[in-house]
Structure 1
Amino acid sequence: MRKIFLVEDDEAIREVMELFLTSENYLVQSFGNVQDFKARDTSIIPDLYLFDVMLPDGSGIDLCKQIKNNEDNDGVPVIIMSAHAKLSQFSILCEPDDFITKPFDIDNLLLRINKIINQK
């Protein structure tokens, strides 16, 4: 089963995404903030990272940079989600494998996740 690490501070969005992706046979581990994400078991490497940009204690962009610069995560795709930012605003800081604007269509999100994971 493919594993996704989701960092999203909005509890309702996080729960919906977790339920939906779990129903699509993904194993989802979700985090509500950067601190919880950083406290994870780093020996577990997911098949995909899914980060919100604006988090209460940090930024998904910073998390993306950390993941992309960590050899243990070599080749693991990162998707960034944001209601406020545009890809051109942070693509120099972090090079995500995809960018999804909020609000998003859940079926489109699933298609993009499947595409990225299957390309891996």
Structure 2
Amino acid sequence: MRKKVVLVQDNKDILEIMDQVLVEEGFDVIASLTTDPIEKIDQIDPDLVVVDDYIKGRKKGSEVINALKSDPDTEEISAILTSTANNLPEIAEACKADDYIEKPFDLDYMVDVVKRNA
């Protein structure tokens, strides 16, 4: 069965590239430039969420992950935080993310991190 990934990124080009690569790797991807899919997390029931820390006009990705990890209904969903922030490891740890991907990133590395956490 294909693993389901919710992918939220602030950059359309990065979103499309990540989406394409993950689909080629056999994942079922729900890709979005907004956090809207997170609002439907119960219906989507993903194996993994990959969220950028900066989403234009929205809550930070770290806040989204913290909310998921603080809710007994969604705490088991794996979560990866992506960002260009220099202190990303600390941000990821503080919001209880399972892993993080620093931008810019190598696509093979991104796939490895997703596979490890899905």
Give the TM-score, by structure 1 length: 0.87
In structure 1, stretches of 5+ residues that fail to align are none
Q: Mark the runs of 5 or more structure 2 residues left unpaired by the alignment.
A: none
Output the aligned Cα RMSD: 1.6
State whether structure 2 residue 47 is matched by structure 1 residue 47: yes
Sequence identity, in percent?
Answer: 26
Residues 49 and 89 of structure 1, relative CA distance in 2, 3 Å threshold: closer
Corresponding residue for residue 33 of structure 2: 32
Q: For residue 91 of structure 1, what is the aligned residue in structure 2?
A: 93
Change (3 A) 1:67 1:29: same
Q: Deviations over 1:12-66 (max 9, x none)?
A: 00000001100111000011123x2344363221000100001112210110011
1:95–1:74 Cα change, 3 Å = closer
Whether the 8 Å contact between 2:83 and 2:102 is mirrored in structure 1 is yes
Number of equivalent positions: 115
Structure 1 115/39 Cα, relative in aligned 2: closer, same or farther at 3 Å?
closer
| TM-score (structure 2 length as normaliser) | 0.88
